[in-house]
């Protein structure tokens, strides 16, 4: 046993790892942007709720019976009206890029001006349009930032609603306004005690509160004639008239204004802004009150603050548009992938089930089974018994003990089963163990098996029948989860059934199978020799060699009847470690074989079909899938609950249908599918993190260590398969040498495996482990740990 490198004292980390810290900061920033987006779109539940007029005992009669311009600044309590034959046109809820310019055109055509009470969030979205309002001689007023019912808000947010709108106007137009109008306000006689408090609070902040004399009710779309009647003052009285330039289809408003303004001018009315009309009223009254400035210049501080507000709104809008766009992309990709899976996988399944279908003449050539094992004492005995007890005519089992420290090799030796050999090698990695086993194997049909995997009696026989076709270089078997009782393992069972019975069928039809699983796969020795054996250049050696075979022109097929039972991780931590390694290794393999994109022949076909398909549906789609959950949470909190739930359940039904098809193909019970909805709330999110961390590791050149998964052994599964019980033999006195094999070491598939020096796992430094470097796929071979 190699000496263990002494370790120094364990130091407690005071700060989180940089990746964790950066990830947390990005998450906080992302959530913050979504909250801002929800806020500026007025999607909190308190919005859009009108209240009835309450008690008015505290409202002075001079206010309730007075004019629409209410002044509570400096402790005053007064109101004013427009002078005679004067109409102040006011427009709420804008600016709107469609209707505000049309209304401005009508005002300009009729030499009239108006007062636009703008919503701050819309000002931030359309600053140039807001500037166009003031450039046309019109006036701006505040209509809050998100159009909430101010009665339902805390005082701090009421202040924020006005101040944010003020600074947004300052940045967009360079002006300041003293006018404010509350959403859902009406006439002076409708002010109750609650609203009176809001009016006085606004006065303390220096604002004149403007209500209306007449409401055109254009928001109800009553028709052009009715809007015109609603806006027409009785007799020759003056009026502040309410219109809307946003919030829906305002075509009737535009048409009504084209008729209303000329008609009222013919009756002797003039049209002014609110401030202009108020100054005229002050002048007529001959009060010693200074005239109010119209659109005064904004303070520099407000302009700078407004810049921050506008850029925040733009960032939030951009983020939401990005998420919405990605959501559509995910939806199209998911539906497209599902249709493609169902179409091609169903065609594949139907072809295989034809009575006259076969691979060709029965294959009975002897088979060598290679079992690389590192610390597999829990499951190695059951695995070896299942392999040696198969119903295939000639089976040689070669267990390559890769420097185990738990007596794995001794367990196999004591079994004393015929046709089973044990080879001990220093710990050098799974690829080295596989290459050693292949070099020492006696036969040309090679089956590779993980040390924790149990075969059914007919698995090897079914697996190698595909070699009746001389173009087949490798066969992928059907991996089944044996310990599916626990929830985490049951989720993996569902994933395995879908992955093997739909994905692999699809890949076979497209002739671009990316992976022959390490748990059960078969190879021609000739094919392995052609691609140089099992490479140690990636963490996913099974994916790497499969891609190499496809590029070399060999067919890689799927045999659903060849089943192998494996032990899946039972905790989320173990699952994370396993999938992290798989995902990272797959990305390494894709990068390693990227030149296939430019090749011709079989390599080019794989590069232009297999690699893009894997990149799109194996990496990009899973990495974009979180937008589904983001939109779900966002919709549940800020959007319509019913529509959000309908969309989410639609996606779930699509998944359930796809899973049911896969389970039917594999003749599996549908009972486990009740766990699929629960899978949406833990398992999928874990897979997101796995892919994102794998991608980050690959892009940043991080180093990934191998982790040994805890094994309990598939005892119950091995008993169900009725494995043969061999007599227990005494321990062997000598360990078989790697030079005792029938095949010479200079065989093409043996060169790399035996010639490469191995590094004991106990002394392997973390810095020696494979790195993504610049591209994924670089670095030296990993230490195999199961």
**Residues with catalytic function:** 92, 244
**Nearest 10 degrees: Cα torsion 19, 24, 27, 31:** -170
Cβ atoms within 10 Å of 120's Cβ, excluding its own: 29
Q: What is the DSSP letter of 458?
A: T
Task: Please answer whether residues 106 and 254 qualify as being in contact, where contact means their C-beta atoms are separated by less than 8 angstroms.
Answer: yes
Report long-range pairs for 45-52 (Cβ below 8 Å, ≥24 apart): 46/148, 46/149, 46/152, 46/153, 47/146, 47/147, 47/148, 47/149, 48/149, 49/149, 49/152, 50/149, 50/184, 51/149, 51/151, 51/152, 51/184, 51/194
Instruction: Enter the tokens of residue 314.
Output: 């733009």
Burial class (CB in 10 A: 0-12, 13-18, 19+), 674: exposed
Measured CA to CA in angstroms, residue 467 lies from 554, 595, 671 at distances of 11, 29, 35
Q: Residue 685, Cβ neighbours under 10 Å: how many? A: 14
Determine the Cα–Cα distance for residues 761 and 334; give it in Å rounded to an integer: 42
In order of 148, 150, 182, 203, the CA distances from 158 in angstroms are 9, 6, 10, 13
- Among candidate residues 499, 496, 502, 478, the one with its CA nearest the CA of residue 340: 502
Euclidean distance between CA atoms 565 and 385, whole angstroms: 13
Handedness of CA 5, 6, 7, 8 (dihedral sign): negative
CA 573 from chain center: how many Å?
21
Contact between residue 573 and residue 689 where contact means Cβ atoms under 8 Å apart: no
DSSP state of 297: B
Residue 242 and residue 212 in contact, taking contact as beta carbons nearer than 8 Å: yes
User: Residue 348: which residues within 8 A CB-CB, separation 6 or more?
Assistant: 505, 506, 508, 509
Kind plus residue range of the DSSP H or E element containing 424:
strand 420-425
For residue 70, what are the β-bridge partners? 79, 209
Q: Residue 503 has what DSSP assignment?
A: I
What is the rounded distance in angstroms from the CA atom of residue 116 to the CA atom of residue 88?
10
CA–CA gap between residue 489 and residue 572 (Å, rounded):
9
Structure tokens at 315: 């960032």
Is the separation of the CB atoms in 514 and 547 below 8 Å? yes
Select from 381, 380, 390 the least CA-distant residue to 463: 390
- H/E/C letters for each residue in 349-389? HHHHCCCCCCCCCCCCCCEEEEEEECCCCCCHHHHHHHHHC
Cα separation, 663 vs 496, in Å, equals: 10
Question: What is Dmax (Cα atoms) for the chain?
Answer: 121
DSSP state of 175: B
Q: Please list, in sequence order, all residues whose beta carbon lies within 8 angstroms of the beta carbon of residue 567, skipping any fewer than 6 positions away.
A: 379, 452, 482, 483, 711, 712, 713, 714
The residue behind tokens 């809050």 is 144
């Amino acid at each position: 046993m190699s000496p263990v490198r002494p370790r120094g004292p364990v130091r407690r980390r005071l700060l989180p790892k940089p990746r964790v810290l950066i990830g947390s900061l990005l998450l906080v920033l992302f959530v913050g942007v979504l909250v801002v987006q929800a806020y500026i779109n007025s999607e909190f539940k308190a919005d859009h709720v009108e209240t009835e007029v309450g008690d008015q005992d505290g409202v002075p009669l001079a206010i309730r019976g007075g004019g629409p311009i209410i002044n509570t600044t400096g402790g005053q309590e007064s109101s004013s009206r427009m002078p005679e034959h004067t109409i102040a046109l006011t427009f709420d809820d804008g600016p709107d890029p469609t209707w505000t310019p049309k209304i401005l055109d009508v005002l300009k055509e009729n030499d009239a001006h108006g007062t636009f009470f703008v919503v701050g969030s819309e000002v931030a979205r359309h600053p140039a349009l807001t500037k166009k309002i003031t450039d046309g001689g019109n006036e701006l007023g505040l209509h809050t930032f998100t159009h909430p019912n101010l009665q339902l808000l805390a005082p701090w947010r009421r202040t924020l609603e006005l101040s944010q709108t003020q600074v947004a106007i300052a940045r967009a137009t360079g002006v300041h306004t003293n006018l404010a109008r509350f959403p859902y306000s009406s006439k002076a006689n409708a002010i109750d005690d609650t609203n009176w408090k809001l009016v006085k609070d606004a006065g303390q902040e220096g604002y004149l509160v403007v209500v209306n004399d007449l409401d055109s009710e254009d928001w109800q779309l009553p028709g052009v004639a009715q809007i015109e009647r609603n806006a027409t003052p009785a007799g020759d009285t003056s009026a502040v008239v309410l219109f809307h330039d946003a919030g829906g289809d305002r075509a009737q408003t535009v048409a009504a204004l084209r008729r209303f303004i000329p008609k009222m001018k013919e009756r002797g009315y003039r049209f002014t802004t609110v401030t202009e009309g108020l100054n005229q009223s002050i002048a007529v009254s001959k009060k010693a009150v200074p005239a109010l400035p119209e659109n005064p210049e904004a303070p520099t501080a407000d302009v700078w603050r407004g810049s921050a507000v506008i850029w925040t709104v733009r960032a939030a809008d951009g983020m939401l548009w990005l998420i919405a766009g990605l959501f559509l992309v995910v939806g199209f990709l998911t539906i497209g992938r599902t249709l493609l899976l169902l179409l091609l996988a169903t065609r594949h399944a139907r072809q295989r089930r034809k009575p006259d279908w076969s691979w060709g003449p029965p294959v009975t050539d002897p088979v060598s089974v290679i079992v690389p094992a590192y610390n597999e004492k829990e499951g190695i005995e059951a695995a070896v018994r299942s392999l040696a007890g198969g119903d295939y005519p000639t089976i040689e089992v070669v267990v390559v003990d890769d420097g185990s420290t738990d007596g794995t090799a001794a367990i196999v030796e004591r079994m004393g089963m015929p046709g089973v050999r044990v080879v001990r090698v220093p710990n050098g990695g799974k690829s080295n163990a596989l290459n050693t086993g292949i070099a020492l194997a006696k036969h040309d049909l090679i089956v590779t098996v993980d040390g924790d995997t149990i075969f059914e009696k007919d698995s090897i026989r079914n697996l190698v029948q595909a070699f009746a076709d001389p173009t087949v270089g490798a066969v992928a078997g059907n991996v089944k989860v044996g310990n599916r009782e626990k929830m985490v393992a049951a989720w993996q069972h569902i994933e395995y059934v879908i992955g093997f019975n739909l994905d692999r069928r699809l890949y076979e039809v497209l002739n671009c199978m990316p992976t022959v699983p390490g748990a059960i796969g078969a190879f021609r020795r000739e094919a392995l020799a052609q691609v140089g054996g099992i490479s140690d250049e990636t963490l996913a050696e099974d994916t790497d060699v499969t891609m190499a075979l496809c590029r070399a022109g060999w067919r890689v097929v799927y045999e659903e009847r060849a089943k192998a039972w494996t032990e899946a991780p039972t905790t989320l931590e173990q699952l994370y470690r396993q999938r992290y390694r798989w995902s990272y290794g797959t990305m390494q393999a894709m990068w390693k074989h990227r030149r296939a994109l430019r090749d011709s022949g079989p390599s080019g076909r794989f590069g232009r079909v297999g690699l893009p398909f894997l990149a799109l549906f194996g990496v990009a789609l899973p990495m974009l899938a979180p937008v589904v959950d983001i939109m779900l949470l966002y919709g549940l909190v800020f959007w319509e609950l019913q529509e959000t739930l309908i969309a989410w359940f639609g996606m779930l039904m699509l998944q359930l249908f796809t899973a049911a098809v896969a389970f039917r193909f594999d003749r599996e019970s549908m009972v486990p599918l009740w766990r699929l909805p629960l899978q949406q709330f833990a398992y999928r999110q874990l897979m997101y993190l796995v892919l994102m961390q794998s991608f980050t590791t690959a892009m940043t050149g991080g180093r990934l260590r191998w982790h040994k998964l805890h094994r309990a052994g598939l005892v119950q599964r091995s008993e169900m398969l009725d494995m043969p019980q061999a007599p227990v033999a005494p321990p062997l006195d000598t360990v078989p040498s790697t030079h005792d094999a029938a095949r010479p070491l200079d065989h093409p598939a043996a060169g790399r495996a035996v010639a490469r020096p191995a590094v004991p796992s106990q002394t392997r430094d973390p810095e020696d482990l494979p790195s993504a470097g610049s591209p994924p796929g670089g670095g030296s071979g990993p230490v195999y740990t199961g």
